[in-house]
Amino acid sequence: MADHRQGSRRRGQGELEALVLSALGEAEGPATAGWVQERLGGDLAYTTVITILTRLLAKGAVTRERAGRSFAWTQASDQAGLAAHRMRRVLDAESDREAVLASFVTGLGPDDERLLRELLGQSRGEGED
Amino acid sequence: MGVFVFLPLVLPLTAWPIARLAEQHLHPRTATRLLTAVAAVMALCSTVCLALVMVVGTAQLPGNPLPDGWSDPEVRAAVPFDEVVGKAAIPALCAVVVACARTLWRHARVRRRAHRALAGLPETGVAVLPDTLPYAYALPGGRRDRVVVTTGLLDHLQPAERRALFAHERAHLAARHHRFLLAVQLAARANPFLRPLRTAVSYTAERWADEEAAQAVGSRRTVARAIGRAALVSRGAPVATLAGFAAPGPVPRRVAALLGPAPVVRRWPSLFTAVGLAAWCAAAGTAVSAMSSANAAVTMVLILHAATPW
């Protein structure tokens, strides 16, 4: 049992979110936190599931609606959507990310846009290949 | 030794015209390698020089742990204006060390965070993220190198242009461009005069990947169109430049270069062309810088050795 719990703790935060999200994805329609916990094989504490669901809610990955005394949760986006959200946050946080992640294009200066349109227009004028 | 001690600190100024000429005239691959090597050597020399001056400067401070002999008048005579310069060198070297450490740490952090953000996705070479924000990055390291691209960008490109985009990013990863970028970034931290080299290398690395992509796709014009379109959809964040001085930014220059003829790989060029002059100046500047700092280092070690009581 102790091993069990340690194992789940060792799994990163991102992985737990992914697990909960994929369990929620298998539900047909809105599901309660208890259902998600059961679906995960009772591996996680009920409060942990709630915590993760709340975190996913803050990220916009799930939505919830009141159902009686508790909430019913629905998946809003999938794994890729969650990854996109996390990546966006990394990019927003790092002002000099350009130095690490060679970006495909950098920002355009004031006259660049006009110049670029001219160049592209020229290239089209010369005939599409 | 006289004022020659300070030469490695100032010689990086010669990098300015070199960077400009090299990025215009050399093949991007050659230019990237040459400019990175020049930047690395010059930064190393300038740091060695700074460290030597600092040793002399620190030795005069009361209560320092260095041997007393090191503050001998003869040792101090080896460095002109030793009092002022020696003391100024201490914070300068500290600043260099801190700035370089911070750069390295940030580099590692961005990479770690970006990889963590992709956790849970299948371990493929390309990660397509459903996001309206158009961007594409080459993400090195982790369990495997990955290309990260959003649907927001892919939706705006034709199939051939998408291939160009992927080829471009893969070229970054295959040629380990992030190492060049990190090297020039550290160099720019070590000596601010080397900043033009950093700008130049980040441009030539992009050009290098553009040329590789053009070869992979088989059409320079397709790559040009892909870059142009990607830039126009992601133009949301304009670079802060003074409108009056706005030279064409890197993106139009890349597109223009791709619409022009392919660059040729030349052997070591003749001295009597603009390119040759730049290359030779770079080589000469680097050599002089390396020699004078080696000279300063050896002389200083000999003097300090002679001045050490044991």
Q: What is the pLDDT of residue B51?
A: 85
Residue A68 has pLDDT above 50, yes or no: yes
Most confident range (mean pLDDT) of A71-80, A117-126, B231-240 is A71-80
Confidence class for position A121, pLDDT limits 50, 70, 90: confident
Q: What is the pLDDT of residue A127?
A: 44
Q: Do B138 and A102 touch (CB under 8 A)?
A: yes
Residue B15 has pLDDT above 80, yes or no: no
Amino acid at B206: E
Nearest to B55 by CA among B296, B290, B310, B309: B296
Q: What is the pLDDT of residue B136?
A: 87
**B238: three-class secondary structure by DSSP:** coil
> Does residue B102 contact residue B190 with C-beta atoms inside 8 Å?
no
Q: Rounded distance, CA B282 to CA B37, Å?
A: 10
Nearest to B177 by CA among B48, B8, B17, B36: B36
CA B303 to chain CA mean position, Å: 34
Task: Tell whether A45 is within 8 A of chain B (Cβ).
Answer: no
Confidence class for position B259, pLDDT limits 50, 70, 90: confident
Nearest to A64 by CA among A56, A54, A74: A74
Among the partner-chain residues B119, B137, B238, the one whose CB lies closest to the CB of A14 is: B119
Any idea of the CA torsion for B21, B25, B28, B30, to the nearest 10 degrees?
-80
> Does residue B237 contact residue A107 with C-beta atoms inside 8 Å?
yes
Say how many CA atoms lie within 13 Å of B191 toward its Cβ. Answer: 29
Q: Do A80 and B111 touch (CB under 8 A)?
A: no
CA B74 to chain CA mean position, Å: 38
Share of chain B above pLDDT 70, in %: 77
Q: What is the pLDDT of residue A77?
A: 64
Domain of A96, in residue numbers = 1-129
Q: Do B227 and A105 touch (CB under 8 A)?
A: yes
DSSP structure class, residue B81: T
The two tokens of residue A25 are: 């994805």
Give how far Cα B246 sits from Cα of A21, B87, B241, B243, Å. 48, 40, 6, 5
Among the partner-chain residues B116, B118, B251, the one whose CB lies closest to the CB of A105 is: B251
Most confident range (mean pLDDT) of A8-12, A56-60, B175-179, B304-308 is B175-179
Lowest mean pLDDT among A86-90, A125-129, B292-296: A125-129
Residues of B in contact with A99 (CB under 8 A): 103, 106-107, 181-182, 185, 202
What are A28-63's pLDDT values in tens digits? 778 888 888 888 877 788 898 999 899 888 877 788
Which whole number is the average pLDDT over A81-104? 74
> Domain holding A68: CATH number?
1.10.10.10
- How far apart are the CA of A65 and the nearest CA of chain B, in angstroms? 25
Q: Rounded distance, CA B155 to CA B163, Å?
A: 13
Within 65-124 of A, beta carbons closer than 8 Å to B belong to: 77, 79-84, 86-91, 93-94, 96-113, 115-117, 119-120, 122-123
B228: left (phi over 0), alpha (psi -120 to 50) or beta: alpha
Residue B238 has pLDDT above 50, yes or no: no
Q: What is the pLDDT of residue A41?
A: 79
Q: What is the pLDDT of residue B85?
A: 78
Average predicted confidence (pLDDT) for chain B: 80
Any idea of the CA torsion for A59, A61, A65, A70, to the nearest 10 degrees?
-80
Nearest to A124 by CA among B156, B153, B225, B217: B225
HEC states along chain A?
A: CHHHHHHHHHCCHHHHHHHHHHHHHHCCCCECHHHHHHHCCCCCCHHHHHHHHHHHHHCCCEEEEEECCEEEEEECCCHHHHHHHHHHHHHHHCCCHHHCCEECCCCCCCCHHHHHHHHHHHHHHCCCC
Residues of B in contact with A18 (CB under 8 A): 119-120
Number of folded domains in chain A? Answer: 1
Q: Count CB atoms within 10 A of the CB of residue B84.
A: 10
Share of chain B above pLDDT 90, in %: 17
